[in-house]
Structure 1
Amino acid sequence: MKQRFLILLLVLGFYSGFAQNSEAQAESYYKKGEFKKALIIYENLIKEKPYSYNYLDKLVDIHQQLEQYDEAEKIIIDRLNKNRNPIMVVTLGYNFQLKDSINNANTLYEEAISYADEKPNYIYTIAKKFEDYSLQDQAIRLYEKGKLLTPDRDYSIQLARIYGDQGDIEKMFENYIEYIDFKPNYLNNIKRAISDFISENKDNESNIYLRRALLKKLQQEPKPYWYEMLSWLYVQEKAYTKSFIQEKALYKRNPESLDRIIELAETARKDNDYETAKSIFNYILETTQDQTTALTAHQYLLEIDTKNADEKTLKQIDKRYQNLFAALGKSQLTIPLQLAYGKFLAFDLKDTKTATSFLKESLELPISNYRQAKIKLLLADILVLQEKFNEALIFYSQIQAELKNSTIAQEARFKVAKTSYYKGDFDWAESQLKILKSSTSQLIANDALDLKLLITDNKFEDSLHTSLKLYAKADLYAFQNKTDDAISLLDKILEEHKGESITDQTLYQQAKLFEQKKQYTKAEANYLEIIKDYGEDILADDAHFYLAELYNTHLAKPEEAKQLFEKIIFEHQDSIYFIEARKTFRMLRGDSIN
């Protein structure tokens, strides 16, 4: 008896395994478009499982792919004779449509839609079948019917998606907004869904539709999520002041956290809208009771005011730092402010001696290893600023030893490589950069790869590394904020080493420095030279993108910008700038959806 049972189990296992293998093989043929091979297997499989809808659907679809509509029709009608299922009714209607029998198709579609009146629970399933066949108008009718028959199930999100596919942006927004009202916790999902339809251009048709709809909602029922949504729209348009108005209104309704307002201030600052950022940070200072938040606001305000400050203003900023330390003291709490002040002293006031003394005092405080590492990293940077490379390397190496494998240790290793590169020790720099190519920090890994390629591509051309040493020196000048000296040294490379492999990199680096000094026509000339003479090389897409940005942002040449963005889209599809180029190109072209 036991033996018979074991044999039965083995047989069943064999057939089960055989069926699974056959199904996998059929699916493989189906995906490859080898429909005749798939058809044979599915015909055998459905004999074993005659009620499998999966096998039935595949058989019908394969016959339709092979334009064997009569065979498909027989299978569908046979199933309908057993069970008048509305899904199969839609399938039969679609088969008639493929045969150009539109009247028969429409009659069956109407039957399937009417079925929902009796059994509204089937609305989503039937509508989804219509969507599978791209019968969007029928799906819309069902979902609209569902809103009336089953309001607790809200079909707005399905309708929004279909209207978006049809290009009816106004109705798409109406339904997304309706869904937010139904499920407010889906707000972030909705933002992601509509982000492709919104551009930086406030006059874009899609932006106008959404803004009007949200303002109307705010007038009717000023719920928090409408303020949040409108604020998000203004951020997409870079209208940070308008976003701030919404965020203040939101905060007044629920004054628990300033996190959203802080995030907005930082976004405005990063986008160089310093006036708005300052207004927001000042509001935070007036509003917050939290000392850490206040310190962050003070720090950002000081850093914003430092940009492009003259000597008199720099002295006033120095006094503001000192007043803050007098009021708050120096402790673990104020370490971020101490780091900001150390950097200000060294890089802006050019007082490296005071900066070093100040930071060494900070190291004496009872602080964590991580905060100590942050201070040592800045101290080492200041030593590089003074060209005290060996002392800097000691600090960088200490960080690597004390916080092994951490992100800050990897940053320190990169700075070891960069310092060695500044010194002209290219082999050692290259050996460190090889390790960092697999850094857990993508930013460090990318920077490491860029520097390694620069060294590798140029160190063999000249055994004395003359041009590479000049380039490294110019790079150091740029780090030291000696921008004019860096530009002059790059000019020397272009004069004395014209045509060497480092030429395009030199033109590119110099263009970025020209942009810093707002010498945009000089930057333009460099980018144009890269495109003309090095159009097939690694920096071609960089030159196209940054020249396009220059035309669009500073030189008021939108048509030229559009042409360059278009070139990236069609000729540099693997570029890291592809997505941004496509987005800006569509905005410049005036597309209603982005």
Structure 2
Amino acid sequence: MRLFILCFFLATVSMFSQEDLLAKEYSKNGEFQKALVAYQELYKNSSNNNAYFLELIKTHQQLEQLDQAEALLVNQIERVKYPALYVELGYNFQLKNDLESANSNYNKAISFLDENPNYAYSVGKFFENRSLLDQAITTYEKAMIIKPAMNFNLQLSRIYGEQGDVEKMFNSYLGFIDANTSYLNTIKRAMSDFITDDSENDNNIILKRLLLKKIQQEPNLLWNELLSWLFIQQKDYNKAFAQEKAIFNRQPESLERIEELAFTAMNDQAYEVAKSIFTYLTETAQNPDVQIGAHYNLLQIALKTETDLKIIEDTYLELFERFGKFNQTINLQVSYAHFLAFYKHEPKAATTFLKESLKLPLSDLEEGTVKLELGDILVLQEKFNEALIYFTQIQRNLKNSTLSQEARFKVAQTSYYKGDFKWAESQLKILKSSTSQLIANDALDLMLLITDNKFEDSTQAALKLYAKADLMAFQNKPNEAIALLNSILENYKGQSIEDQALYKQGKLFETKKQYDKAVINYQKIIANFKDDILADDAYFALAELFENQLQDSQKAKENYEQIIFNYQDSIYFVDARKRFRVLRGDNLN
């Protein structure tokens, strides 16, 4: 008997579900007469289902059968005490252009809050559903006055945003987050739709003013955190740093937020402020690992900004004197070896130094990090086979790790440098599905380079020359690389390697700040290889050059626009569209 009842129940539910879907499909397709019949049947068989009743009302209204809708609503109101139905009845009168009756019913719905402010949830929602935003605001605000513990600031924020009242919207968001701090990141995302990276933007100024007022009125670090977040969006990292220090001084438990800010500034190439923050960390942190990490990052900035190599080397040696050459300074040791090899051009000293580091009791990951750098330094010296041994050891000892995948890419890259394109290609095919998107992209780019050019001639002479130029670029020999690429461009004109050589040479011109020469190369790609895979790369490179180096926003816009209209599948599409809109002065909200 139980089984029979269960089967009957499931069959009934399935039938209603199918009829419901059919009714929705009719409404979606504008077949309202058919939808009406379907909803009448559904409501007849399930008269307590409010969703069916409301859809029935809406369908009558779509068919302009307003008297029938009114009769149903009046009958339902007499049968069920549900204040939100007065919103529907009022809206039905509004459709009849009877605004007096409409407002009377709206006010009646709101008046039920005096009896029970919890009705605000349904009444306010019904007002929102009918785009009666002023009435929804009145509902939520009244409920919060009657019962201050209630918080409808999130709903109010959304409505104020729709109405374009940004100040009230921000105020409501701040009111909501004050009582619901777990939603902080959600509110940041919501507010980010209304601010830009321009500190002079009206909305940014409004939010800044509101937060400063909050900070003056109540000592809640939440407001400092939000103000810091706003400054970061504006790239005002110094001002964000001031807020983060204020937070730390009152809650000195962790320096993680300040560390994160330092990395954000450094990644945005705001090196001076990044140096200030990392220096603060070296002076403030009690944890040696944090201190060493900050010193390490200060040196990474110095390598990008400092020209006096002796100052940098003395700093490394002072740090080893202070902290020692142990496991906790292994990243510093790897960085020093890289400095010796690639900046001081002393690869033998770097190799000897790292082989000493390998004698320390390292974890597998630490050992892999040292061997990866050691392999790079051996490639720099063109000791390819020895480098391949270290890269292969990493793969064997750290299977399925990101470092292992990076080592596999290094195997492929080293094989490519030495002209073993077949083996390089086999490794790159495996890496195409790497869990690291960056490695996967690099692998795909190198694989396409090889596959597109390996059949050009039986000796693969052009590809070998290009690989040699690529190696020279890796060895920090830009002049020699540029000269070799010139040879390719002269001797292999019209072959598939030409656009690759032009692009590679353009990037090398950029590193030497020879921007006019880079522009010529990218323009040649566009003129002669517009349908090839590097065309969108060339347009984006040009746009960035004109925007950031040559200060020609008009030409930058023109090149971004080419990507937007002609290369929608490009990996640069999203960035190009954003930069184009910023340069055009659009309000990105």
Q: TM-score, normalized by length of structure 1?
A: 0.92
- Give the equivalent residue in structure 1 for 2:384: 389
- Which of residues 254, 271, 274 is equivalent to 1:274? 271
When residues 374 and 103 of structure 1 are mapped into structure 2, their CA distance, relative to the original with a 3 A threshold, is: same
Q: How far is the alpha carbon of 1:342 from its aligned partner?
A: 1.2
- Give the equivalent residue in structure 1 for 2:224: 227
- Give the equivalent residue in structure 2 for 1:44: 41
Contact 1:261 1:280 in 2 (8 A): yes
Q: Name the stretch that deviates more: 99-108 or 537-546.
A: 99-108
- Give the equivalent residue in structure 2 for 1:150: 147
Q: In 1, Cα distance between the equivalents of 2:558 and 2:573?
A: 14
- Give the equivalent residue in structure 2 for 1:562: 557
Contact 1:477 1:486 in 2 (8 A): yes
Q: Name the stretch that deviates more: 193-202 or 371-380.
A: 193-202
User: Is it true that 1:55 corresponds to 2:52 in the alignment?
Assistant: yes
Q: Name the stretch that deviates more: 522-531 or 289-298.
A: 522-531
Show CA shifts across 1:224-272 (max 9, x none): 1222111111111111112111111221111221111111111111111
Contact 1:201 1:587 in 2 (8 A): no
- Give the equivalent residue in structure 2 for 1:586: 581
- Which of residues 170, 175, 178 is equivalent to 1:173? 170
User: Is it true that 1:403 corresponds to 2:398 in the alignment?
Assistant: yes
Q: Which SS does the other structure have where 1:151 is aligned? A: coil
Q: In 1, Cα distance between the equivalents of 2:518 and 2:83?
A: 66
**Paired residue type of 1:318:** E
Q: How far is the alpha carbon of 1:73 from its aligned partner?
A: 4.2
Q: How far is the alpha carbon of 1:128 from its aligned partner?
A: 1.5
Q: In 1, Cα distance between the equivalents of 2:426 and 2:30?
A: 50
**Paired residue type of 2:359:** E
User: Is it true that 1:414 corresponds to 2:422 in the alignment?
Assistant: no
Q: How far is the alpha carbon of 1:340 from its aligned partner?
A: 0.9
Q: In 2, Cα distance between the equivalents of 1:32 and 1:417?
A: 56
User: Is it true that 1:344 corresponds to 2:344 in the alignment?
Assistant: no
Q: How far is the alpha carbon of 1:121 from its aligned partner?
A: 0.8
Q: In 1, Cα distance between the equivalents of 2:64 and 2:508?
A: 63
**Paired residue type of 1:278:** K
User: What is the correspondence of 1:402-551 to structure 2 with a 5 Å cutoff?
Assistant: 402-551=397-546
- Which of residues 120, 123, 127 is equivalent to 1:123? 120
- Which of residues 236, 242, 246 is equivalent to 1:245? 242
- Give the equivalent residue in structure 2 for 1:109: 106
In structure 2, the gaps of 5 or more residues are none
Q: Name the stretch that deviates more: 339-348 or 75-84.
A: 75-84
**Paired residue type of 1:243:** A
Q: In 1, Cα distance between the equivalents of 2:62 and 2:496?
A: 55
Q: How far is the alpha carbon of 1:184 from its aligned partner?
A: 3.3
**Paired residue type of 2:339:** F
Q: Name the stretch that deviates more: 381-390 or 174-183.
A: 174-183
Q: Which SS does the other structure have where 1:255 is aligned? A: coil
When residues 333 and 31 of structure 1 are mapped into structure 2, their CA distance, relative to the original with a 3 A threshold, is: farther
Q: How far is the alpha carbon of 1:158 from its aligned partner?
A: 1.6
Q: How far is the alpha carbon of 1:353 from its aligned partner?
A: 0.6
Q: Name the stretch that deviates more: 264-273 or 111-120.
A: 111-120
User: Is it true that 1:214 corresponds to 2:211 in the alignment?
Assistant: yes
Contact 1:414 1:433 in 2 (8 A): yes
- Give the equivalent residue in structure 2 for 1:204: 201
Q: Name the stretch that deviates more: 528-537 or 404-413.
A: 528-537
Contact 1:42 1:58 in 2 (8 A): yes
When residues 30 and 509 of structure 1 are mapped into structure 2, their CA distance, relative to the original with a 3 A threshold, is: farther
Contact 1:200 1:587 in 2 (8 A): no
Show CA shifts across 1:169-208 (max 9, x none): 2222222222233333432222111122222221122211
Q: In 2, Cα distance between the equivalents of 1:500 and 1:293?
A: 52
- Give the equivalent residue in structure 1 for 2:295: 298
Contact 1:206 1:592 in 2 (8 A): no
User: Is it true that 1:85 corresponds to 2:112 in the alignment?
Assistant: no
Q: How far is the alpha carbon of 1:60 from its aligned partner?
A: 3.0
When residues 122 and 537 of structure 1 are mapped into structure 2, their CA distance, relative to the original with a 3 A threshold, is: farther
Q: Name the stretch that deviates more: 265-274 or 135-144.
A: 135-144
Bigger relative contact order (CA 8 A; separation at least 6): 1
**Paired residue type of 2:184:** L
Q: How far is the alpha carbon of 1:404 from its aligned partner?
A: 1.3
In structure 1, the gaps of 5 or more residues are none
When residues 323 and 504 of structure 1 are mapped into structure 2, their CA distance, relative to the original with a 3 A threshold, is: same
Show CA shifts across 1:290-309 (max 9, x none): 11111111111122212254
**Paired residue type of 1:241:** N
When residues 504 and 125 of structure 1 are mapped into structure 2, their CA distance, relative to the original with a 3 A threshold, is: farther
Identity of aligned residues (%): 56
Q: Which SS does the other structure have where 1:86 is aligned? A: coil
RMSD over aligned Cα, in angstroms? 2.5
Q: How far is the alpha carbon of 1:378 from its aligned partner?
A: 0.8
Q: In 2, Cα distance between the equivalents of 1:344 and 1:80?
A: 80
When residues 274 and 19 of structure 1 are mapped into structure 2, their CA distance, relative to the original with a 3 A threshold, is: same
Q: How far is the alpha carbon of 1:130 from its aligned partner?
A: 1.9
Contact 1:490 1:510 in 2 (8 A): yes
- Give the equivalent residue in structure 1 for 2:185: 188
Q: In 2, Cα distance between the equivalents of 1:150 and 1:306?
A: 60
Q: Which SS does the other structure have where 2:329 is aligned? A: helix
